[in-house]
């Protein structure tokens, strides 16, 4: 008899995540892959693989969230990422607060209430600046791999201020700086500062209810975390698996936990 109580699917635009939970709401299995063009087919495959691994049949309800949620045929229900992220983080950290989710293509700030439900939220999903893409794109220009971004930014000796808020303008600015011989790590640091500035703006808009919590792919970036804490003068806490929070929340909404 499988221990799987429900499965959550987060069909994001950059990555696809699956999380299976047991009747106590603990994570018993998960999957994460970069999103493929035919996400419905990918999901079928990932779901089958997860069920296989956990020896689970099709009885457990499947809840979908994320960009491609309506394409998932197996899903019995779909819920927005806002509600799912709030739920996931609330359960993972056990507290209400302000959740900052910085994904590959969007960023959100969600005020999580005492019952794990979103009280208010703000999203940035029309502009690359303020998302993981801003860092990736401009870092690619500097020839730095994504997983080294945070470390190099934090260890920089100086910081070059990047004043452009637009990714395209920022790129021109960076080219200028490089031409003038600026240190690449200092530029990276400035880039991170710029990203964090955008995010903090949204945070101030929604209003800070402590603690600040971080989820999404960019949460693993130490520089982003450190700078958010500095800018807000508040502690920043991370769940164990920041990227899985959406899928986790979706699974929780499906189960009894």
Partner 1 sequence: MSESDALAHYVESNRLEHFVNYELVGKSALRVQRWRDQWKLKRRKPRPDSPLSPPLQCVAYMKEIMSRHYLEGRYASGVRKVAWVTSGAPTEPLQALGYFLVYPENHAALCGVRRKAQSIAEEAEHAGWSRDICSYARTDIGAMLSGKTPAGRLPRPDMLVCCTNICQTVLHWYRVLADYFECPLVLIDTPFLYDEAHDHEVAYVKRQIEDMIHVAEEMAGTTLDQARFAEVMQNARRGAELWLEVLNRSQNRPAPMTAFDGFIHMGPIVDMRGEAVAVQYYERMLHELDARIARGIGAIKNERYRVLWDNLPIWFKIGEFSKSLGEHGVNVVASTYTYAWGELAPMIDPNNPLESMARVYLHPILNRSTGHKLEAMKKMVDEFQLDGVILHSDRSCKPYSLGQIDQRDRLSKTLGIPALLLEADHNDPRDYSNEQGANRLEAFIEMMEARG
Partner 2 sequence: MLRAHRLHPIEIWGPPHIARHEGNRHFQTYACDIVVKAMAFIRSGGIDATRAILVPHTCDALQGMGSVLTDFFRPDQRVLTLYLPRGRRTSDRDFLRDELARLSKTLVQVSGHEPNATEWAEAFEAEDAADAALADLYRRRNALAISDRDFYTAVRSREFLTAEKFCEQVATLPAGQAPRGGVGLMISGIVADPFELFDQIEQMGAHVAGDDLACGYRRVYSASHEHDPLIRTANRLMSCPPDPTCGTPIHERVEALQTRMRALGAKGLLIYDPKFCEPELFDVPLLRKHLNEAGFPVLHVEYEMGEGLPHQTLSRIEAFVETLS
Residue from the set 40, 120, 183, 222 that interacts with partner 2 by CB under 8 A = 120
Q: Is 165 in the site for partner 1 (CB under 8 A)?
A: yes
The tokens describing 18, both together, are 């699956």
By beta-carbon proximity to partner 2, the closer residue of 61 and 118 is: 118
* H or E element, residue 124: strand 118-124
Smallest Cα–Cα separation from 60: which of 1, 16, 147?
1
**Long-range contacts (CB closer than 8 Å, 24 or more residues apart) made by 234-237:** 234/208, 234/210, 235/210, 235/211, 236/211, 236/212, 237/93, 237/97, 237/211, 237/212, 237/213
Q: Of partner 1, partner 2, none, which one does residue 166 interact with (CB within 5 to 8 Å by kind)?
A: partner 1
Q: Is 101 in the site for partner 2 (CB under 8 A)?
A: no
Q: Is 215 in the site for partner 2 (CB under 8 A)?
A: no
Q: Is 128 in the site for partner 2 (CB under 8 A)?
A: no
What is the distance between the terminal CA atoms of the chain, rounded to a whole angstrom? 18
Q: Is 134 in the site for partner 2 (CB under 8 A)?
A: no
Q: Is 230 in the site for partner 1 (CB under 8 A)?
A: no
Which positions lie near partner 1, rule CB under 8 A?
Answer: 163-166, 169, 172-173, 175-176, 201, 204-205
Which positions lie near partner 2, rule CB under 8 A?
Answer: 67, 79-83, 106, 117-121, 123, 125-126
């Amino acid at each position: 008899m499988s221990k799987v109580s429900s499965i959550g699917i987060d069909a994001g635009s950059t990555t696809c995540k699956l999380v299976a939970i047991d009747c106590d709401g603990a994570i018993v299995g998960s999957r994460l892959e970069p999103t493929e063009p035919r996400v419905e087919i990918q999901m079928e495959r990932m779901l089958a693989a997860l069920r296989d691994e956990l020896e689970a049949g099709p009885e457990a309800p499947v809840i979908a969230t994320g960009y491609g949620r309506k394409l998932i045929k197996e899903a019995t229900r779909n819920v927005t990422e806002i509600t799912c992220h709030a739920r996931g983080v609330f359960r993972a950290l056990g507290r209400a607060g302000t959740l900052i989710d910085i994904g590959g293509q969007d960023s959100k700030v969600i005020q999580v209430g005492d019952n794990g439900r979103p009280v208010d939220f703000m999203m940035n999903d029309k502009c690359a600046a303020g998302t993981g893409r801003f860092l990736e794109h401009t870092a690619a220009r500097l020839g730095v791999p994504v997983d080294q971004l945070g470390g190099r930014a934090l260890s920089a000796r100086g910081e070059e201020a990047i004043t452009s808020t637009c990714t395209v303008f920022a790129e021109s600015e960076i080219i200028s700086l490089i031409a003038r011989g600026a240190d690449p790590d200092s530029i990276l640091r400035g880039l991170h500062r710029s990203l964090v500035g955008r995010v903090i703006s949204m945070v101030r808009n929604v209003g800070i209810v402590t603690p600040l919590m971080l989820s999404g792919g960019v949460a693993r970036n130490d520089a982003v975390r450190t700078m958010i804490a500095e800018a807000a003068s508040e502690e920043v806490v991370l769940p164990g698996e920041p990227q899985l929070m959406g899928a986790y929340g979706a699974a929780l909404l499906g189960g009894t936990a």
